[in-house]
Amino acid sequence: MNPWIAIGMLALVGVLIPVGMMTVSALLRPSVPEQGKRATYESGEIPTGNARLQFNIQYYMVALLFVVFDIETVLIFPWTVIYRDALQLPGVGLTEVLAPMLVFIGVLVVGLAWAWRKGVVQWVRSPRHERRKPNEQ
């Protein structure tokens, strides 16, 4: 049997099962449209204002940078454990061991430099700080 047939069948089953479940659910569930279902839920209180709030994109960018560099540390630790033993093997030099990790760290440093240049890691200045700035000079 061709392995691509098995992969195609798995993909087909992976699509058909959720679509089938949603179809059966849409056919069997009761449909009772009422205004209360569309209201924003705020612990039983009457909602005030719009439910959509705009957050500063800086929070997401800093969180994304944190995740990237957190995963970097998670990947560096097992690498050091594995390659510590590889250095003791004959014919394996320091260059073969360090080169892949230096390339990995280099790519991350380039990404951090790009983010720094774009101003991703700089917080938005408060109006109070901007007012104080000319007086200090």
How is the chain split into domains, by residue range? 57-125
> Cα–Cα–Cα angle for 49, 50, 52, nearest 5°?
145
Q: Angle, to 10 degrees, between the axis of helix 94-118 and the axis of helix 57-86?
A: 170
- pLDDT bucket at 9, cuts 50 / 70 / 90: very high
**Where in 2-121 does DSSP place strands (E)?**
none
Q: What global pTM score does this model have? A: 0.47
Whether pLDDT at 2 is above 60: yes
Average pLDDT over residues 55-63: 79
User: How is residue 37 written in tokens?
Assistant: 């279902």
Average pLDDT over residues 12-21: 96
More confident residue, 47 or 126: 47
The pLDDT > 90 percentage for the chain reads 20
What pLDDT does 120 receive? 76
Cα–Cα distances in angstroms (integers) from residue 23 to residues 11, 17, 49, 69, in the given order = 18, 10, 35, 42
Contact of 122 with 57, CB cutoff 8 Å: no
